[in-house]
Structure 1
Amino acid sequence: MNATIIGAGLAGCEAAWQLAQRGIGVTLHEMKPHKMTPAHHSNGFAELVCSNSLRSDQLENAVGLLKEELRRCGSLILRCADQTRVEAGGALAVDREAFSQAVTDAVRSHPNITVVEGEVTHIPEGEVIIASGPLTSEGLSEEIAKLFPNSGYLNFYDAAAPIVTFESIDMDHAWFASRYDRGTADYINCAMSQEEYQAFWKELCQAEEAPVHGFEDGRVFEGCMPVEVMARRGEQTLCFGPLKPKGLPDPKTGKEPYAVVQLRRDNAQGTLYNIVGFQTHLKWGEQKRVFSMIPALAHAEYVRYGVMHRNTYLDSPRLLDAYYRVRGQERICFAGQITGVEGYVESTASGFVAGVELANRLLGKPPVDFPRETALGALAQYVSNESVVDFQPMNINFGIMPPLDHKVKGKRNKNAELSRRSLELVDALREKL
């Protein structure tokens, strides 16, 4: 029994691991290092090309619930993330290089996984999971398009935030804290006065963008919007978004600044920090010029500037079922952001579900049906829900899960109860995995 997986990102590695752990021989194709994309910088598997944060780790948050479901189900990605985590308050953030190395080592050393380097331009025969990611190569994209002659792709653009060195941050204009003192004080908070913010905002709106073929503001996914696009929507937009000062009083004054730019640790050593919410496709020189107007970053040293790159995803409600299989061609599955799930953990979840379903099918076992009351099931059913007309990438959220059958006072309490319900269902299904 064998299966082929295309792509060694988060989804591909998770799917490969689940299959291999169940005794299925896996051929894992990865085009790096022979062919790289503008967003990739290393040869390792499961490279995190945007933030190093897997977002909230709290069960009152839907992505925190999804992480816990994956942990209980034996996820490789979550195991490696927990092993390489860095302090980030209530979030799960990782040392991206150590994380990638941990995943790479685990996958390459598994006796049931054979890694084949080089670009795939034809869909192989047999059982296949295509986890080629949002930066699928043109050759493979053309082959995938042939599967859906009457549908086609939807394209959107994604952006990565800049990373600066800790030693270049002016801490006279910044301090360590987490918003509302939740968790440990792991974020560097860079204060801006009203005058400083207004000058910064004007320059940001006028800054020169790097050329991106076919880019339109209206096609940018709201969850990963370039900071300059957000700024152009109004002077106060950033102050209610990534520069929100609420819950972050300046210890020097005891008062909340007009705006606060947050930096999050990007490696375990704490030598690198990324600028939270500053995904951008400005020219590199413009990034340095404009972002230097933030007082704490006036002399910042950039180890990576923000970049803009193309993302590709399927019109999945018309094309895929709840196991991420192609309708009518069930030997072919998709996993990861190409399916329209948005986010690192969500991509991992899709790879997990696709891998487990394929393994069970090859072993002659019934599929594991995660109900919509679970985060794993809710995400898979959203992606495959034919009633969704204007399909766009989706992060996991409690809104796509059925409500409780009883009232619970308070949002956090209600979310905690939704998570409790979900984890009970997941625990009951674990023996079928």
Structure 2
Amino acid sequence: MEPVHIIGAGLAGSEAAWQIARAGVPVLLHEMRPQVATFAHKTGDCAEMVCSNSFRSDDDQMNAVGQLHWEMRAAGGLIMAMADRHRLPAGGALAVDRDAFSASVTAALQADPLIQIVPGEVRDLPENGNWIVATGPLTSDALAGSIRGLTGTEALAFFDAIAPIVHAETIDMSVAWEQSRYDKGETLAEQRAYINCPMTKPEYEAFIDALLAADKTEFREGETAGYFDGCLPIEVMAERGRETLRHGPMKPVGLTNSHNPAEKAYAVVQLRRDNALGTLYNIVGFQTKMKYGAQTEVFRMIPGLQNASFARLGGIHRNSFLNSPTLLDDRMRLRTRPNLRFAGQVTGVEGYVESAAMGLLAGRMAAAQAKGADLPPPHHTTAMGALVSHITGGAEAKTFQPMNVNFGLFPPLDEARGGRRGRKDRYPAYTQRAKDDFRAWLATQ
């Protein structure tokens, strides 16, 4: 049997290798470290965690990432097994001893007779064979160039300023209203495509003061930031003048408050639907490098968002990822080169667990292909299925940005499942449905 090749032994690549070997298929796992270093990694171990030691919440009843943990455990995932083995006290979160964790992942892969770890950099994408590209946000310059040449992506690696995303159900629609600027759009849905949050002049001035005073994330040593004018952090815009935002992403023109048509807003914050389900909304033009605590405090000053729950907070960091909705099919294959699968953060998921989960799926799909079979993704009611559905077609391609798993990616519950209930009932219903459907998917293999 021909082996499956994997480029990158991070969390996604390591998990993919483990899943492929469990299916009885040989694996060649290519890793450039330590021969070729990155500014973030310190060792040559597999699955090295470079940013934190937390896998976030382990609650598989009330939390989407906890449900993702459950699914990975149910699928016999190596990453979750080693995380559980090296777990540290962290309340309801799953935190690990990161050095022991990566050393154990490395040892498990090295001990498997079907897995061969191949040292050295892969600089070009191969034309033939069964390959998984799991190179993460720090893809080498040479391989990034090869990916750009194949996909036409102009800027695969850059400092990425991203805007926060709000759960639609937490927006106060007694304050906000639906309207596209100047009522643009041929259909009623298009004319109501945005949610608008109005500000008075005192509210705007207080918001600008808080924005300028908020704690900001600083770049690590050796990093320099180059911003695109189209996605400047809002703090950078505000520093250019107090009225800059009011004439930019917060301009009030072309909008009439349906709650009070006679009163003209001094500034307006717009939110745009971020997924096909309409459960998530992106705060338009609000890319930010504020620290997370400051973001929640400052953004909840916006009328209508005073009780907002965030599916993702904004941030800025060096990132490498594909525009997966336009480039990948639902088997995570490059549409123009189906011998290549992509997995991990390079596909546009955010977070350790999400990256490893995409490795798990890519590995199982690649193993099925090696055996002459085809494995579809799990249903989009599951955590893994929701992520795959989002990155391969559910997200808006023009505004696609990396995303953590969250219940906003799950299809709404029907009434029998508790769709009209509050979160305390609805979230367990999401996770129970996901467990049922994930078990059914595993049973097909």
TM-score by structure 2 length?
Answer: 0.67
Check 1:409–1:43 CA distance in 2 against 1; reply closer, same or farther (3 A cut): same
Instruction: Call closer, same or farther: CA 1:87–1:236 in 2, change over 3 Å.
Output: closer
Query: Contact conserved, 2:133 with 2:342, CA < 8 A, in 1?
Result: yes
Asked whether the 8 Å contact 2:46–2:105 carries over to 1, the reply is yes
1:46 is paired with a residue whose SS is coil
1:360 aligns with 2:368: yes
Query: Residues of 1 paired with 2:23 and 2:110: CA distance?
Result: 16
C-alpha separation between the residues in 2 aligned to 1:112 and 1:356?
A: 15
Structure 1 residue aligned with 2:382, among 374, 379, 383?
Answer: 374
1:152 shift after superposition: 3.8
In the TM superposition, what are the counterparts of 1:22-421 in structure 2 within 5 Å?
A: 22-59=23-60, 60-124=62-126, 125-149=128-152, 151-157=153-159, 212-215=224-227, 218=231, 229-230=289-290, 237=295, 239=297, 310-385=318-393, 388-389=396-397, 390-406=399-415, 407=418, 408-421=420-433
Instruction: Give the 3 Å change call, closer, same or farther, for CA 377–29 of structure 1 in structure 2.
Output: same
From the superposition, tell whether residues 361 and 220 of structure 1 become closer, same or farther in structure 2 (CA, over 3 Å): farther
* CA distance 1:430–1:205, shift in 2 (3 Å): closer
C-alpha deviations, 1:62-112, integer Å up to 9, x for none? 111011011101111111111111011111111100110111011111100
1:96-149 superposed Cα distances (whole Å, 9 cap, x missing partner): 001101110111111001111111112233111000110000011111112113
Q: Displacement of 1:366 after TM fit? A: 3.1
Query: Is the CA contact (8 Å cut-off) linking 1:9 and 1:133 kept in structure 2?
Result: yes
* Alpha carbons 1:10, 1:348 under 8 Å: kept: yes
* Aligned-partner SS, 1:385: helix
Q: Is 1:427 equivalent to 2:442 in the alignment? A: no
Q: Secondary structure at the match of 1:134?
A: helix
Separation (CA, whole Å) in 2 of partners of 1:398 and 1:206: 27
Query: Contact 1:230 / 1:238 at 8 angstroms: preserved in 2?
Result: no
Counterparts of 2:66 and 2:436, CA distance in 1: 15
What is the CA-CA distance between 1:428 and the residue it aligns to? Answer: 1.7
Over 3 Å counting, the alpha-carbon distance change for 1:359 and 1:219 in structure 2 is: farther
Task: Report percent identity of matched pairs.
Answer: 43
Looking at structure 1, the residues matched to 32 and 434 of structure 2 have their Cα atoms a distance apart, in angstroms, of 37
Deviation of 1:310 after TM superposition, in Å, equals 2.2
Once the two structures are superposed, residues 320-364 of structure 1 have per-residue CA deviations (whole angstroms, 9 ceiling, x without a partner) of 012211013211001010110111111011111111111111112
Q: 1:153 to 1:402 in 2, by over 3 A?
A: same
**Structure 1 residues 82, 404: closer, same or farther in 2, change over 3 A?**
same
- Structure 1 spans left out of the alignment, 5+ residues: 160-197, 223-227, 242-278, 281-307
Partner in structure 2 of residue 262 of structure 1:
none
Residue deviations 1:395-430 (CA, integer Å, cap 9, x gap): 111111111111353203211111001101111222
For 1:20 and 1:54, the matched residues in 2 are separated by: 24
Distance in 2 between residues matched to 1:379 and 1:75, nearest whole Å: 17
In structure 2, the gaps of 5 or more residues are 162-208, 235-281, 283-287, 300-313
Provide the secondary structure at the position in 2 that maps to 1:100. Answer: helix
Change (3 A) 1:357 1:212: same
AA matched with 1:366: D
The code of the aligned residue for 1:136 comes to: T
- 1:38 & 1:347 partners in 2: Cα distance? 20
The aligned length equals 327
The residue type equivalent to 1:142 in the other structure is G
Gap change, CA 1:205 and 1:106, over 3 Å in 2: closer
**Alpha-carbon separation, structure 1, partners of 2:18 and 2:365:** 13
Q: Deviations over 1:306-325 (max 9, x none)?
A: xx962110011000012211
More deviation, 92-101/119-128: 119-128
CA distance in 2, matches of 1:94, 1:114: 26
Give distance in 1, aligned partners of 2:289 and 2:390. Answer: 28
Q: Deviations over 1:361-406 (max 9, x none)?
A: 1112231431111111110011000661311101111111111111
TM normalised by structure 1 equals 0.68
Report the residue type matching 2:14 in the other structure: C
Per the alignment, residue 289 of structure 1 pairs with none
1:10-29 residue CA offsets vs partner (Å, 9 max, x unmatched):
00001111111111111111
User: CA RMSD, aligned part only?
Assistant: 3.4
